[in-house]
Structure formats: C-alpha cells, structure tokens
Amino acid sequence: MSGGVQRELRSLKREPSARSLRAAMMRGARKACPECGIGRLFAGYTKTRERCSHCGLDLEGHRADDAPPYVTIVIVGHLAIPLALAVKQIFDPPLGLQFAVWAPAMILAMIWLLPISKGALIGLQWANRMHGFGDRAAADRPDPAVLDTGPGVV
C-alpha cells in the first residue's frame, strides 16, 4: 500500500471529535443549542427549532419523546413528597390545606422543569451522537475497503 493510502486509512479510523456530555447537557438545560450554546433550542414552550440560528445544527433528529416528562415527574416527586411528609409530621396541617399548597406547587415545579429537562436530554443525545446527531462527515467518507489497492485486489 502506498503512503498516501495508508495515511487516508488512518484518518478514516480516527475517533470523531469528543463532545462534552456535561457541557452539552448544561447548554440544553439553559435552553440553548447543545453544540454552540448561543442559539435558542426551543421555538415555543417545548417545541424544538428546526435548526440552530447561530451554528446551523439540525435539531429535527432528536428523539426526546416521553423521557423529559418522566424525568420531570421523578425529580419533582422526589423533592416534593419528602417535603410534604416532613411538613405533615412537624406541623400537621389539615388535609385540605395540604392539597391547596402542594398540588399547585408541584404543578408549577413541573411546568418550570419540563423544558429544562427536555433541553438537557437533547444535549445528552447530541453529546452521544444519538438519533440524528451523529457525525455526518463520517457518513460522507469513502468505505476503507474501496481504498485498498494492495496485491490481489482486482
């Protein structure tokens, strides 16, 4: 194999550039593009933009689906239920007052947290090259087997 072909094969085998999971999730949690952190992630409450206005990242490939509501409910539940039980044990308020306070508090917390968890999960998908966030440049590269010009290749 010639030196040029060997260099080309080595460049094809290189790992794609690393994407920071933490940075991508933090950018998404701030409702910003997971790649650049500047463009806005959402066009509405939780409606994802088609692409980032700053870097052009295609955002349509994400598959957050049911995960953000699930994560939101788990987080709010794990915070609110122990607090409600502690308030019950310490102050013993009437049941009607508990419902009047905790139900709206939990609903507001979920409304606030849902776009944050969706953004963080989109950042997670981007950092791990999942669901349409893969390395598009790798798909455009030629197959290494085609480049093999060694003996015995017809």
Q: Express each pLDDT in 57-95 by its tens digit.
A: 999 888 888 999 999 999 999 999 999 999 999 999 999
Residue 142 lies in a domain: no
Stated pTM of the model: 0.76
Mean pLDDT across 17-42: 95
Q: Hey, which residues does 150 pair with through a beta bridge?
A: none
Residue 35 lies in a domain: yes
SS (H, E, C) 102-132: HHHHHHHHHHHHHHHHHHHHHHHHHHCCCCC
Residue 151 lies in a domain: no
How far apart are the C-alpha atoms of 149 and 112, rounded to whole Å?
A: 59
pLDDT at 13 over 50: no
Residue 33 lies in a domain: yes
Residue 5 lies in a domain: no
Residue 9 lies in a domain: no
Domain of residue 58, residue span: 17-134
Which pLDDT score is estimated for 141?
35
User: For the ranges 48-57, 64-73, 107-116, 141-150, which has the lowest average pLDDT?
Assistant: 141-150
Residue 97 lies in a domain: yes
pLDDT at 107 over 80: yes
Which pLDDT score is estimated for 146?
44
How far apart are the C-alpha atoms of 144 and 154, rounded to whole Å?
A: 16
Most confidently predicted of 7-11, 114-118, 133-137: 114-118
How distant, in Å, are the alpha carbons of 10, 18, 122, 138, 143 from that of 14? 7, 11, 25, 10, 14
How far apart are the C-alpha atoms of 20 and 31, rounded to whole Å?
A: 17
Which pLDDT score is estimated for 132?
83
Residue 62 lies in a domain: yes
User: How many structural domains does the chain have?
Assistant: 1
Q: Of all residues in the chain, what percent carry a pLDDT higher than 90?
A: 69
